[in-house]
Amino acid sequence: MAEVFFTPADVDVVEPEKWYQPEKSLVFRLERLIDESGILDNISSGDVVAVKTHFGDVGTTKTVRSLFIRKIVEKIKERTDRIFVTETTGLGMTRKRNTAIGRIEIAEENGYTSQTVGAPIIVADGILGFDSVKVVQNVKHLKEVYVARGIAESDFVLAVTHFKLHMRGGIGGSLKNIGVGCVTKTTKYDIHLSSTPQIERERCTECMKCVEICMFNAIEDFRIIEERCMRCLGCYEVCEVQAINIGKWLSGEDIAERIAESAKAVIETVGKDNFAYLNFAIDITPHCDCHPYSGISQVSDIGIFASNDIVSIDKACFDAYLRENISPRALVKERIWEWTKPERLLSYSEELGIGERRYNAKEVT
Ligand code: SF4
Ligand code: SF4
């Protein structure tokens, strides 16, 4: 059974006249949580460590605060000085978040710079989001997964995750941070969609915009050549007459299983013993941080979780979330988006052997 360590967000001030009590800070307790959980014990001197977080989009306001990441980087520096804070580009080619340049600009807008976090910020999948290591696996959906090269080349990955709801995966925890956040656009596409883009000739005005944006010369005579298409979504975004058909966006068990399969490929590339996870169950918003806004929290802040087991940590967070009273102003009164299947994300991840749902919870005060 895996161990999940937890420090509550509550600040228990019993002597209010003693106003200066820095040990009450969650930043201070994060340090204790890292020490007592031993989640970084497998980092050796000289290891390259990727701290994978989510910088949000333009306008996202409730990502993991940079001062927590700074503390985490300080703790890793006790073991190695080769650390970077990282994220991948988003699916698509036309928005700011779709390139490393835009991703870093967004990070800076949202308070993440090398000065604030204490380590360089490097986008893991290259300037345009195709730099990857291809993993072939024998699973139900994703036979090929494109792991971001910056992740694949790291010796150790620490996922620093804002735990929240997710409109497709159900919960946005470590599984989502690794399964969706550590792969390139091609696999992000394969997680969200099951068919390659096709041009509907009867709608096409032959404007050439899709041909111009395609980096892979995959469009010839207004037809998409499947073998060349890297599923970046660029052509779909620029077509003004909706002539590019991408099929239906996936949801429910299908997308839950795909996220789990992608996470398996990432974990097996770096090695299961070379991962640690920190879930911040704080500001549990109804949407993922890829939305350009953040709603109010579904429940009161819960705390920070730490584990070396990706399934246990998400299960522990989800269990804690389900125990809380839903805020009267919560957007998702039913607790999860009704079409999502977070339980399947957890159970299938366990079936794939990347972690287990049974855990032993230990509180760090
Ligand atoms: S962008 Fe749309 S309309 Fe223009 S050539 Fe491509 S498919 Fe046709
Ligand atoms: S054809 Fe494929 S690779 Fe080319 S722009 Fe469209 S989705 Fe991207």
DSSP 212-238: HH-TT--EETTEE-TTT-----HHHHH
Q: What is the pLDDT of residue 326?
A: 95
Quote the ligand 2 centre to 91 CA distance (angstroms): 11
Amino acid at 272: K
Beta bridge partners of 199: 244
State how far the Cα of 281 lies from the Cα of 130, in Å rounded to an integer. 31
Quote the ligand 2 centre to 187 CA distance (angstroms): 13
CA of residue 46 relative to chain centroid, distance? 26
Counting every residue, how long is the chain? 365
Asked whether 348 and 141 are in contact (CB, 8 A), the reply is no
CA neighbor of 186 nearest in space, from 257, 91, 88, 52 = 91
* Ligand 1 contact via 222 beta carbon (within 6 Å): yes
Phi and psi at residue 6, to the nearest 5°: -150, 135
Q: Which of 94, 221, 244 to mutate to test the pocket of ligand 1 (most atoms within 8 A of CB)?
A: 244
Provide the residue ranges of all domains of the chain, joining segments of one domain with +. Answer: 2-188+250-363, 198-245
Asked whether 249 and 264 are in contact (CB, 8 A), the reply is no
CA of residue 304 relative to chain centroid, distance? 16
Residue 170 to residues 26, 156, 252, 312: CA-CA distances in angstroms? 27, 27, 8, 16
Q: Which residues of the chain have pLDDT under 50?
A: none
Give nearest CA residue, ligand 2 atom 7: 231
We find that the CATH architecture of domain 198-245 is: 2-Layer Sandwich (3.30)
Q: What is the pLDDT of residue 294?
A: 84
Q: What is the pLDDT of residue 20?
A: 86
Q: What is the pLDDT of residue 290?
A: 86
* Ligand 2 contact via 91 beta carbon (within 6 Å): no
Query: pLDDT tens across 168-208, in order?
Result: 889 999 999 999 999 999 999 999 999 999 999 999 999 99
Residue 144 to residues 55, 133, 135, 230, 266: CA-CA distances in angstroms? 27, 10, 6, 12, 11
Quote the ligand 2 centre to 280 CA distance (angstroms): 36
Enter the pTM of the model. 0.95
Q: What is the pLDDT of residue 43?
A: 98
Which positions ≥6 away from 85 have C-beta within 8 Å? 51, 53, 69, 73, 112, 117, 119, 120, 121, 122
* Ligand 2 contact via 128 beta carbon (within 6 Å): no
State how far the Cα of 337 lies from the Cα of 286, in Å rounded to an integer. 8
Quote the ligand 2 centre to 153 CA distance (angstroms): 27
Strand pairing class (156-162; 275-281): parallel
Q: What is the pLDDT of residue 257?
A: 98
If one counts every other C-beta atom within 10 angstroms of the C-beta of residue 215, the result is 11
Beta bridge partners of 4: 361
Structure-block tokens of residue 311: 């399934």
Ligand nearest to the CA of 224: 2
What ligand 2 atom has the least distance to the C-alpha of 234?
5
Structure-block tokens of residue 143: 């036979």
Structure-block tokens of residue 278: 């920190």
Q: What is the pLDDT of residue 11?
A: 86
Q: What is the pLDDT of residue 227?
A: 96
* Ligand 2 contact via 224 beta carbon (within 6 Å): yes
Asked if the 2-188+250-363 domain carries CATH number 3.30.160, the reply is no
Ligand nearest to the CA of 239: 1
Quote the ligand 1 centre to 213 CA distance (angstroms): 11
* Ligand 1 contact via 267 beta carbon (within 6 Å): no
